[in-house]
């Protein structure tokens, strides 16, 4: 196998390297090449594989070792898959499809079962090449039953590699890691050098999305050594670029820049497009506060994408970099325009394809606060907090999942050493791990909601208030704007429970929260403090505005009817206390205590009222 572990001290097996070099040397001489030689080059040198396949097709490939129809089928198959990997010229889907059809006809005539099985990957490969990732994933998933993934079979690699790539591009991180490690393990065990290097690309992206740049760096470093040994400039360049991203995320900026300069000086075509290199360079120079260099690479990436066509993710990255540069240069209006463009496009892209959302909203909030747009800054900060909380549980879960998969692989590797080479079983993931994969996402979502939301009403909980209030007050200080904290207690709620039961009581709580969210602005925060007590955080509201909003809500609640279990309740009321920053306090504890004290005063004065001064009440 290529390596016993994925680590930074990886060195290729010299015997394997010699064998691979011999294959590559044979493939370099077209007159003596076979379709099998061309096939083994399609990942590492797709342009060479395509040229060899076309030469073999043009001369009909007389061969003494296998039926001509089968050889011709493999030449057409190689031509089709190589075109799916070519960077230039632009792909011709009709030509690729025609080659797949010709391959199918020849494989059927020769009864080549392996060729016919691999032909099934064709529609998915075309969809991937055309950027239709959802369609590609559907095609790959439909093929799982046609491949025995419990065996160490070379063809299983191609399915696992395709699944890993499609899952990562679709933002399904757990599955991307699962099949990424499966593909890497297969290539390792079967001594497939180019395949090992290719599998590391989507796996490295998935590991960085899981906030594990150290493991990504180890995988990519090993793969670079393999790609160099396999004489694959296209894989070597892409792997080095991705490793530079991992090094930057690890804070090793000098190492990242040295590697990136090597990539920029390489005139080899770049998988996915040269603009990826310039994204990376711009982000690195932003980290180093070299705005001139960041601007240069941003403009280069923009020019390249204007010619080639930009995806939604490309546009998001461009505008984000543009906004960061403008923010650092104090061109705040330009920064806001760029960031707002990103904000509008984010719903179109999976959270795991652009997983810096919390940092992005932090930057947007900072710029908005600097120009005095406090309410919008509060909204952006709230989005940042929500994105952070939503991603935290998922990322932690995924990292644990990744480590467990690696442990499983190490155990499988040990077991395989004691088995017959003819019947070695893959055993990559046991049945418990498969069940865990299915539960991972739903469990992560459940944990996320437990952290920040009340299970009954769906509004934020007290934990969220404790986490969010310091940031909200900090923004108020920076923008010199008021902020109101409101504590609310539903009047006589115990009597509702005692008289009508907890089911009706729960409906009262749920309906109050729904009414509050409908009555207030999008920037206001509604949360449950505990029991029948709630809190409201009113962004940019002073005493008068807060008083008016809560009185309006009180009036609406009086007129609201709650229907449950054939019971209709009306005339419900609440008591409320308001504390305003900075008049009533400048820290979280003081504001909450003040609002709570005024709530108690409202209840002592007869309930159904709002207290916004220690000596003033309204009815």
Sorting pLDDT into bands at 50, 70 and 90, what band is 457? very high
Gap between the Cα atoms of 420 and 417, Å rounded: 8
130 — pLDDT class (breaks 50, 70, 90): confident
For residue 494, tell me if it sits in a domain: yes
Position 536 pLDDT exceeds 90: yes
Tell me if 365 sits within 8 A of 380, measured CB to CB.
Answer: yes
Inside any domain, residue 92: yes
Residue after which a domain boundary falls, among 119, 136, 152:
119
Give mean pLDDT, residues 499-528.
Answer: 90
Q: Is 419 a domain residue?
A: no
Q: Given 119, 135, 150, which residue is the final one in a domain?
A: 119
Lowest pLDDT segment from 321-335, 398-412, 420-434:
420-434
Quick: pLDDT tens for 35-61.
888 888 988 899 999 999 998 888 765
- pLDDT tens, position by position, 371-387: 999 989 999 888 888 77
Q: Report whether pLDDT(352) > 50.
A: yes
**For the purposes of burial, counting CB atoms within 10 Å of the CB of 62, is it exposed (0-12), middle (13-18) or buried (19 or more)?**
exposed
Q: Which pair of structure tokens corresponds to residue 561?
A: 């009817």
Q: Is residue 249 part of a domain?
A: no
Instruction: Report which of 279, 268, 353, 314 is spatially closest to residue 87, judged by C-alpha positions.
Output: 268
The answer as to whether 70 is a domain residue is yes
pLDDT value, residue 40 = 86
Q: Which residue has the higher pLDDT, 15 or 341?
A: 341
What pLDDT score was predicted for residue 395?
61
The proportion of the chain whose per-residue pLDDT surpasses 70, expressed as a percent, equals: 79
How high does pLDDT run on average in the chain? 81
Mean pLDDT of 516-540: 89
The pLDDT value recorded for residue 384 is 82
Question: Which of 100-104, 128-132, 392-396 has maximum average pLDDT?
Answer: 100-104
* Residue 577 within a domain: yes
Q: Is the dihedral of CA 208, 214, 218, 221 positive or negative?
A: positive
3 state SS of 228: helix
Q: How many residues does the chain have?
A: 619
Q: Which of 199-213, 343-357, 568-582 has the lowest mean pLDDT?
A: 343-357
Q: Examine residue 611 and state whether it is found in any structural domain, yes or no.
A: yes
pLDDT of residue 467: 81
Quote the distance between the C-alpha of residue 321 and its chain's center.
18
**Inside any domain, residue 595:** yes
CATH number of the domain that residue 584 is part of: 3.30.70.270
Query: Which position has the token pair 């509004």?
Result: 459
- Percent of the chain past pLDDT 90, that is, above it, reads 41
- Can you spell out the DSSP letters for 443-482? HHHHHHHHHHB-TTT-SB-HHHHHHHHHHHHHHHHHHT--
Maximum mean pLDDT: which of 231-235, 469-473, 572-576: 572-576
Task: Please state the domain count of the chain.
Answer: 2
Q: What are 352-356's contacts with CB under 8 Å, separation 24+?
A: 352/171, 352/172, 352/173, 352/209, 353/169, 353/171, 353/209, 353/313, 354/313, 354/316, 354/317, 355/209, 355/211, 355/391, 356/320
Choose the final residue of a domain: 119, 145, 160.
Answer: 119
Q: Tell me what pLDDT residue 329 has.
A: 94
Domain that holds residue 556: 462-618
C-alpha span between 409 and 59 (Å, rounded): 45
C-alpha–C-alpha distance, residues 579 and 600, integer Å:
13
* Model pLDDT for residues 193-224, shown as the tens digit of each residue: 999 999 999 999 988 888 888 989 999 999 99
């Amino acid at each position: 196998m290529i390596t016993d572990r994925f680590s930074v001290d990886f060195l290729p097996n010299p015997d394997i390297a010699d064998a691979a070099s011999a294959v590559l040397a044979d493939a370099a001489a077209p007159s003596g090449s076979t379709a099998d030689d061309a096939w083994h080059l399609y990942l590492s040198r797709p342009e060479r594989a395509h040229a060899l396949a076309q030469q073999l097709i043009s001369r009909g490939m007389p061969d003494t070792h296998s039926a001509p129809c089968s050889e011709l089928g493999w030449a057409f198959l190689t031509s089709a898959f190589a075109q799916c990997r070519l960077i230039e010229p632009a792909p011709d889907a009709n030509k690729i499809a025609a080659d797949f059809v010709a391959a199918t006809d020849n494989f059927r005539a020769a009864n080549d079962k392996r060729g016919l099985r691999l032909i099934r990957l064709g529609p998915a490969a075309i969809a991937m090449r055309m950027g239709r990732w959802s369609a590609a994933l559907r095609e790959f998933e439909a093929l799982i039953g046609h491949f025995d993934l419990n065996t160490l079979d070379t063809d299983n690699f191609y399915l696992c590699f395709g699944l890993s790539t499609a899952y990562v591009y679709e933002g399904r991180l757990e599955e991307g890691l699962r099949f990424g490690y499966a593909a890497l393990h297969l290539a390792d065990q079967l001594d497939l050098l180019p395949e090992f290097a290719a599998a590391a690309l989507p796996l490295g992206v998935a590991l960085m999305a899981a906030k594990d740049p150290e493991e990504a760096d180890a995988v990519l470093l090993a793969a670079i050594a393999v790609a160099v040994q396999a004489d694959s400039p296209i894989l070597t360049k892409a792997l080095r670029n991705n490793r530079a991203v991992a090094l930057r995320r690890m804070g090793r900026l000098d190492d990242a820049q040295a590697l990136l300069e090597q990539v920029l000086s390489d005139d080899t075509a770049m998988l996915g497009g040269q603009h990826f290199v310039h994204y990376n360079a711009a982000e690195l120079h932003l980290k180093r506060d070299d705005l001139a260099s960041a601007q240069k690479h941003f403009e280069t990436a923009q020019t390249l994408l204007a010619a080639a066509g930009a995806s939604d993710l490309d546009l998001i990255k461009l505008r984000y970099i543009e906004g960061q540069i403008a923010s650092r240069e104090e061109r705040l209006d330009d920064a806001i325009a760029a960031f707002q463009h990103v904000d509008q496009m984010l719903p179109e892209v999976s959270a795991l394809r652009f997983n810096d959302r919390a940092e992005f909203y932090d930057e947007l909030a900072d710029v908005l606060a600097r120009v005095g747009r406090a309410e919008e800054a509060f909204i952006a900060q709230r989005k940042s907090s929500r994105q952070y909380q939503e991603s935290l549980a998922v990322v932690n879960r995924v990292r644990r999942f990744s480590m467990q998969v690696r442990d499983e692989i190490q155990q499988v590797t040990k077991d395989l050493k004691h088995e017959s080479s003819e019947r070695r079983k893959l055993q990559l993931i046991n049945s418990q791990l498969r069940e865990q994969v299915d539960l991972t996402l739903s469990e992560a979502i459940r944990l996320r909601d437990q952290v920040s939301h009340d299970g009954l009403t769906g509004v934020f909980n007290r934990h969220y208030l404790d986490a969010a209030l310091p940031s909200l007050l900090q923004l108020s200080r920076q923008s010199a704007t008021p902020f109101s904290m409101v504590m609310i207690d539903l009047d006589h709620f115990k009597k509702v429970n005692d008289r009508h039961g907890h089911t009706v009581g729960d409906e009262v709580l749920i309906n109050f929260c729904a009414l509050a969210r409908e009555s207030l602005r999008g920037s206001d925060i509604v949360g449950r403090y505990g029991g029948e007590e709630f809190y409201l955080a009113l962004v940019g509201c002073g005493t008068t505005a807060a008083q008016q909003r809560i009185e309006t809500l009180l009036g609406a609640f009086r007129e609201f009817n709650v229907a449950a279990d054939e019971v209709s309740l009306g005339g419900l009321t609440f008591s409320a206390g308001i504390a305003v920053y900075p008049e009533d306090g400048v820290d979280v504890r003081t504001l909450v205590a003040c609002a709570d004290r005024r709530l108690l005063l409202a209840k002592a004065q007869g309930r159904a009222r709002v207290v916004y001064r220690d000596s003033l009440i309204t009815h």
